[in-house]
């Protein structure tokens, strides 16, 4: 039995591994199963290129718990190790066997060899106070056994193992006894290894065989005990899109997220070989009534090994509401393979994903416009956020971004422009796009605009203020105005003049009378010569002020630092309304004040801002008027 010291560059690396390298001790199982997978895939590669006559067969990885001995076993049927290889790959900490293998066999990377750092094996010492390796190489070399108790000393000697492959035996430490529980190991295998490329056996299960054709009606199906293979070695994202149907994508979505009962709206299959390797499938979920946005996230894999579902950086912010899988061996991870490191490759991958999503949106709207329109409300926040935050995405958005009207007609921007340019171009040649954010609250203004023959968009997502700001600054000679921002004649100014029935002197008197009976800090009064059919008092909020307030509410960068905007409104007085003349005629100051307050409250009521004591006073005053 040989004895020796593990070659490390510090006095004792194990405390460092245990305390600092891995934040989460459960990672040990991911690392050891990944090593077992590597060993199996190496053998497959050597077999494929004819460097070994050993029959590859149908190898599996087996995980076993022995509660009596307090051991956990990870057993593979892979390439195994000779005594020299144990010395080289186990006793030289941070000498990665995978990297050494890939350097000799350049094509091996295509086989999905996982390891990069050579430290994964030592994560075992986070949960074990002794680790054994029993291994036999695929060559004729004799089997060997390696034993270490977590100190730099090890024992290395012969073993009577007959079959090729490696068995890792962890003697679980007292403070890690949870890893001897079946439910815990199953949970970890399903979390990290459920899509590993080699079948993973964890115990057995009972299955019922289907009855053969023509079986007697009283025949009972036979039950058999089979290996419990807990992973799917060939998940959808590893296949070519030509191999998959819509049902396959939907089935994979529910395999990823078993608690999601809605079908995904769309899916995007990612597959790129240059300038980086990346595969994956992204799904647009139904967002409207979803309560699991924080729970069901995009999952990041590296060669089918789960890394994290914190994918900020590699996935653009606007796509963080999507679900699915991204798998890339080129994603730079920290040494414990637990999180992303900042890198130029990450930005390239993020740009690629953005482009693929934009291209998918173009194809979807071209292939089935009607279906795309039906799903618009479920995806619009993602699309609109992308238009604001990703310039490359915005540049393509005119081909698929939709602008629905209050009558549920959907236009692309160019279609909208062609539809409204004759009616909604003002006297200065600017195209004015009217929109509403709430059908019920702004109905009065919507109907007035429609009577003029104008189209009114329904833009009701929370980020609309930012979106229209983006559109106004990037497109020429357009402006968006909410339909209740002013009287319709002022929203789209034409070369039309309406004569007032009041003299200039009467107008001044009317304005003074109203100013005396309202709060001058909240309302800015303007007199307009409107038609007799228009409301006598019209309350509007300036587009700029309202938009800044909306931006502030959803987090508007500089707008969030400007403090709260005051509640200010324009009060438009229709000088041609019968009520304007009635106010001027009244001699009784009390009656005059009552009429002005009533008209103002009616205007506030139309804007849904009459509340509290003002509403109570309005109701009381209204009853007194009809006594």
| Domain architecture of the chain: domains with CATH | 12-204 (3.30.565.10), 236-364 (3.30.230.80), 402-496 (3.40.50.11260), 504-556+567-626 (1.20.120.790)
405 is in an annotated binding site: no
pLDDT of residue 575 exceeding 60, the answer is yes
What is the model's pLDDT at position 7?
52
**pLDDT band (50, 70, 90) for residue 344:** low
166 is in an annotated binding site: yes
pLDDT of residue 478 exceeding 80, the answer is yes
Indicate the length of the chain as a whole number: 627
Distance CA 355, CA 393 (A): 7
What is the model's pLDDT at position 20?
47
What is the model's pLDDT at position 203?
93
What is the model's pLDDT at position 417?
95
81 is in an annotated binding site: yes
96 is in an annotated binding site: yes
Sequence-separated (6 or more) residues with CB below 8 Å from residue 462: 381, 553, 554
Strand 478-482 to 431-436 pairing: parallel
Q: Which residue has the higher pLDDT, 434 or 317?
A: 434
Tokens of 540: 């509007």
What is the model's pLDDT at position 1?
63
97 is in an annotated binding site: yes
State the SS3 of 349-362.
Answer: HHHHHHHHHHHHHH
What is the model's pLDDT at position 343?
55
3-state SS assignment for residue 326: strand
Distance CA 596, CA 602 (A): 10
- Average pLDDT of the residues in 101-125: 54
- Average pLDDT of the residues in 130-136: 95
Q: Among the ranges 261-270, 302-311, 392-401, 588-597, which has the highest mean pLDDT value?
A: 392-401
508 is in an annotated binding site: no
What is the model's pLDDT at position 251?
95
Distance CA 216, CA 221 (A): 11
What is the model's pLDDT at position 336?
40
3-state SS assignment for residue 20: helix
What is the model's pLDDT at position 212?
80
Cβ contact 221:208 at 8 Å? yes
- Average pLDDT of the residues in 181-208: 94
Which residues share a beta bridge with 571? 525, 539
Nearest Cα to 177, choosing from 67, 74, 75? 67
Sequence-separated (6 or more) residues with CB below 8 Å from residue 212: none
Q: Is the dihedral of CA 128, 129, 133, 134 positive or negative?
A: negative
Nearest Cα to 387, choosing from 441, 501, 468, 328? 468
576 is in an annotated binding site: no
3-state SS assignment for residue 466: helix
Residues 135-194 pLDDT 10s = 999 998 999 999 988 777 889 999 999 999 999 999 999 999 999 999 999 999 999 999
What is the model's pLDDT at position 618?
82
3-state SS assignment for residue 35: helix
What is the model's pLDDT at position 559?
43
| Confidence (pTM) | 0.76
Distance CA 194, CA 205 (A): 17
**pLDDT band (50, 70, 90) for residue 289:** very low
DSSP letters along 273-323, please? -SSS-EEEEEEE---TT-S-TTTS-EEEEETTEEEES--BTTB-GGGTT-E
- Average pLDDT of the residues in 354-370: 94
The DSSP element (H or E) to which 171 belongs, if any, is strand 165-172
- What's the mean per-residue pLDDT of the chain? 83
What is the model's pLDDT at position 116?
41
Residues 212-268 pLDDT 10s = 877 777 778 888 999 999 999 999 999 999 999 999 999 999 999 988 888 999 999
Any idea what DSSP says for residue 211?
Answer: P
What is the model's pLDDT at position 620?
82
pLDDT of residue 304 exceeding 70, the answer is yes
- Average pLDDT of the residues in 485-507: 81
pLDDT of residue 382 exceeding 80, the answer is yes
pLDDT of residue 17 exceeding 60, the answer is no
Q: Which residue has the higher pLDDT, 394 or 221?
A: 394
30 is in an annotated binding site: no
Nearest Cα to 384, choosing from 314, 457, 438? 457
**pLDDT band (50, 70, 90) for residue 325:** very high
- Cα–Cα distances in Å, from 553 out to 459, 528, 564? 16, 32, 10
């Amino acid at each position: 039995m040989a004895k020796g010291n593990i070659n490390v560059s510090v006095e004792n690396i194990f405390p460092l591994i245990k305390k600092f390298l891995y934040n989460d001790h459960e990672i040990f199982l991911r690392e050891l199963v990944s090593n077992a997978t590597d060993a199996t895939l190496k053998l497959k590669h050597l077999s494929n290129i004819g460097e070994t006559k050993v029959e590859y067969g149908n190898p599996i990885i087996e995980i076993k718990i022995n509660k009596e001995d307090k051991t956990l076993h990870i057993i593979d049927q892979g390439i195994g190790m000779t005594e020299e290889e144990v010395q080289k790959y186990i006793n030289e900490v941070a000498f990665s066997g995978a990297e050494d293998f890939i350097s000799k066999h350049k094509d091996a990377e295509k086989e999905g060899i996982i390891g990069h750092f050579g430290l994964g094996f030592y994560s075992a010492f986070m949960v074990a106070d002794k680790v054994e390796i029993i291994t036999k190489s695929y060559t004729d070399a004799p089997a060997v056994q390696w034993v270490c108790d977590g100190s730099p000393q090890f024992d290395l000697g012969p073993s009577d193992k007959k079959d090729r492959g490696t068995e890792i035996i962890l003697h679980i430490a007292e403070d890690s006894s949870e890893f001897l529980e079946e439910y815990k190991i199953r949970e970890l295998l399903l979390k990290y290894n459920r899509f590993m490329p080699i079948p993973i056996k964890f115990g057995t299960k009972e299955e019922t065989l289907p009855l053969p054709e023509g079986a007697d009606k009283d025949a009972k199906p036979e039950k058999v005990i089979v290996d419990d293979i807990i992973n799917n070695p060939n998940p959808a994202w590893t296949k070519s899109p030509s191999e998959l149907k819509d049902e396959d994508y939907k089935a994979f979505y529910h395999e990823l997220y078993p608690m999601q009962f809605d079908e995904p709206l769309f899916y995007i299959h990612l597959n790129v070989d240059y300038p980086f390797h990346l595969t994956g499938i992204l799904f647009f979920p139904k967002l409207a009534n979803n309560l699991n946005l924080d729970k069901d996230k995009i999952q990041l894999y590296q060669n089918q090994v789960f890394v994290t579902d914190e994918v900020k950086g590699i996935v653009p912010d606007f796509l963080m509401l999507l679900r699915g899988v991204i798998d890339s061996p080129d994603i730079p991870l920290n040494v414990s393979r637990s999180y992303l490191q900042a890198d130029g490759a990450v930005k390239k991958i993020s740009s690629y994903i953005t482009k693929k999503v934009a291209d998918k949106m173009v194809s979807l709207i071209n292939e089935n416009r009607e279906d795309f329109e039906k799903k618009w409300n479920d995806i619009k926040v993602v699309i609109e956020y992308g238009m604001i935050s990703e310039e490359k995405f915005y540049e393509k958005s005119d081909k698929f971004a939709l602008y629905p009207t209050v009558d549920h007609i959907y236009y692309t921007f160019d279609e909208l422009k062609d539809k409204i340019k004759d009616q909604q171009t003002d006297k200065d040649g600017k195209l004015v796009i009217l929109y509403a954010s709430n059908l019920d609250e702004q109905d009065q203004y919507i109907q007035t605009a429609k009577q003029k023959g104008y189209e009114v968009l329904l833009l009701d997502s929370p980020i609309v203020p930012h979106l229209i700001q983006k559109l106004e600054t990037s497109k020429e000679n357009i402006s968006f105005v909410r339909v209740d921002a002013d009287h319709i004649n002022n929203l789209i100014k034409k070369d039309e003049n309406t004569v007032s029935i009041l003299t200039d002197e009467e107008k001044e008197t009317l304005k003074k009378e109203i100013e005396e009976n309202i709060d001058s800090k909240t309302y800015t009064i303007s007199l307009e010569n409107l038609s007799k059919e228009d409301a006598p008092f019209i309350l509007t909020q300036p587009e700029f002020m309202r938009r800044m307030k909306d931006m502030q509410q959803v987090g508007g960068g500089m707008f969030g630092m400007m403090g709260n905007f005051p509640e200010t409104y324009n009060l438009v007085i229709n000088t041609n309304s019968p009520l304007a003349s009635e106010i001027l005629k009244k001699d009784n100051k009390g009656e005059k004040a009552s009429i002005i307050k009533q008209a103002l409250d009616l205007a506030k009521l139309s804007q849904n801002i009459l509340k509290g004591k003002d509403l109570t006073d309005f109701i009381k005053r209204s009853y007194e008027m009809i006594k």
